Amino acid sequence: MMDWSETVLLLRVGTLREADCWVRFFSPTQGMLTAFAFGGRRSRRRFGGCLDPLDRVHFSMAWERRRHYLVLREGALVERFGRMKADLDRLGMASNCLRFVEGLCIPPDGVAVVHHALVEALRLLDGEHGASRFFPVLFRAHVIFNMGFAPKLDVCGGCGADLGARPAFSIPKGTVLCRRCAGAERSISPATIALLRSIAQPLPAPWALEQLPPVVREETWYLVDHFLRWHVDLHAGTHGARC
Q: What is the pLDDT of residues 91-140, one digit of tens each?
A: 999 999 999 999 998 999 999 999 999 999 999 999 998 899 999 999 99
CB-side neighbour CA atoms (13 Å) of 132: 16
In the chain, where does the domain assigned CATH 2.40.50.140 lie?
2-80
DSSP character at residue 39: T
CATH number 1.20.120.80 given to 2-80:
no
pLDDT band at 63 (very low <50, low <70, confident <90, very high): confident
Distance CA 224, CA 217 (A): 10
For residues 68 and 195, which has the higher predicted lDDT (pLDDT)?
Answer: 195
pLDDT band at 215 (very low <50, low <70, confident <90, very high): very high
For residues 62 and 235, which has the higher predicted lDDT (pLDDT)?
Answer: 62
The CATH number given to 86-239 is 1.20.1440
**By the 8 A CB rule, do 31 and 106 touch?**
yes
pLDDT band at 44 (very low <50, low <70, confident <90, very high): low
In the chain, where does the domain assigned CATH 1.20.1440 lie?
86-239
Distance CA 138, CA 67 (A): 38
pLDDT band at 146 (very low <50, low <70, confident <90, very high): very high
Average pLDDT of the segment spanning 151-176: 88
What pLDDT sits at residue 242? 31
Among 14, 12, 19, smallest CA distance to 42 is for 19
Q: Which helix (H) or strand (E) holds 89?
A: helix 88-103
